[in-house]
Amino acid sequence: MSPLLRFGRALGVFGSVIVVGTIGYLVLGFGFLDALYQTVTTITTVGFREVHPLDAAGQVFTIVLILAGVGTALYTLSVLLEALIEGNLRQHMEKRRMDHHIKHMSGHVIVCGWGRVGRASAHYLSSVGRPVVVVDSDLERLRGLDCPTVVGDVTDDSTLQAAGIARAHALITALDTDADNVYVSLSSRALRPDLVIIARARNEESTSKLIRAGANRVVNPQLIGGRRMGAFALQPHVSEFLDVVVHDATLDYRIEEVEVPATSQLVGRTLSEAALRDTSGALLVAIRSPSGKFITNPSGHTRIEPGAILITLGNDGQLGAVRASVGR
């Protein structure tokens, strides 16, 4: 039984004792206010004199009332203190445990805002094994989550620091308003110039503001959702294939990006010379050059530049072989 439910029952019994005591003194000839006053002073052991002299019957009734009322009053008070202390102590211990856990995390993703977009982002990240810290101002929304959480105003720098922004890989700001997302992007960029920041935009007009505020990418869920619905209407099989490959973590194969470091042995070689397909079995879908240009279905004559992003399709073993080849 929860402490609050126990307190409710104890309070009900305590109230019943007051009612019975008041009725008893009324029977003994007291007025209503005098009877209530005599009952309360008796069961709380205040020790004031009797309002009216008591005969033998009144004395016996008062003895019984003291034995029943004082015990009930003390029990009610103890249950109340237990509910207050246990609740605060539990919250304090949980917060300390959570803070300790977050302090030892690195490479995690901070999700700001536990709404529909924030939940969907966190669930996907968790499904692919990426640690997540969720930040929201509403404690009730965060109850029962398996991942570490921080309760607080995410527009406050101290809240971001408590979420481990100094060691995070990325931050997703999915708050209710574009103004809040702009503010979080500004604060996060100031705290971590190299942080990957993904911001949600409700209005297309806010996209440029969020980019200027420091977001690396801006996502408009309504716009993307509408485009996907149109794509499903025209090319359902292509859309479903891309959806499954990108988002279904249960499949053996997936699309992954691999950055080529400047120290890689593949730098300066052509794709034919690198023979990634032959050595790994993975399919090279595209290359993004350091300038940001995409080269889809690259030919064998394409040279691999330092800082290029290889977008590959394969299973875990094949993708691992690609990473080994480029020296990641």
For residue 58, give both structure tokens.
């009144």
**Strand 294-296, strand 132-136: pairing:** unpaired
Closest CA to 304 of 258, 266, 261: 266
> pLDDT tens per residue, the chain (328 residues)?
556 677 778 788 888 888 888 888 888 888 888 888 888 888 777 766 677 777 788 778 888 887 887 778 888 777 777 766 665 556 666 777 888 889 989 999 999 999 999 999 999 899 888 999 999 999 888 888 888 999 999 989 999 999 999 999 999 999 999 999 999 999 999 999 999 999 999 998 999 999 999 999 999 998 888 988 998 899 998 888 887 777 766 677 788 899 999 999 999 999 999 998 889 999 999 999 999 899 999 999 999 999 999 999 988 899 999 999 998 6
205-219 residue pLDDT tens: 999 999 999 999 999
For residue 257, give both structure tokens.
């990006």
Report how far residue 256's alpha carbon sits from residue 83's, in angstroms, rounded to the nearest whole number: 51
The length of the chain, given as a count of residues: 328
Beta bridge partners of 199: 173, 218
Average pLDDT, the chain: 86
Instruction: Output the pLDDT for position 47.
Output: 62
Closest CA to 213 of 190, 233, 194, 238: 190
Report how far residue 252's alpha carbon sits from residue 316's, in angstroms, rounded to the nearest whole number: 7
Go through the domains of the chain in sequence order and give each one's CATH number: 3-100 (1.10.287.70), 106-219 (3.40.50.720), 252-326 (3.30.70.1450)
CB 167 within 8 A of CB 107: yes
What's the whole-model pTM score?
0.64
The backbone region for 47, taken as left when phi is positive above 0, alpha when psi lies in -120 to 50, beta otherwise, is: left
For residue 290, give both structure tokens.
């350091």
Question: CB-side exposure of 66: number of CA atoms within 13 Å?
Answer: 11
One DSSP character per residue, 74-102 reads HHHHHHHHHHHHHHHHHHHHHHHHHHHHH
Q: How far is CA 254 from CA 180, 217, 242, in A?
A: 34, 22, 9
Tell me which DSSP letter residue 204 carries.
Answer: G
CB 147 within 8 A of CB 162: no
Three-state DSSP at 43 gives helix
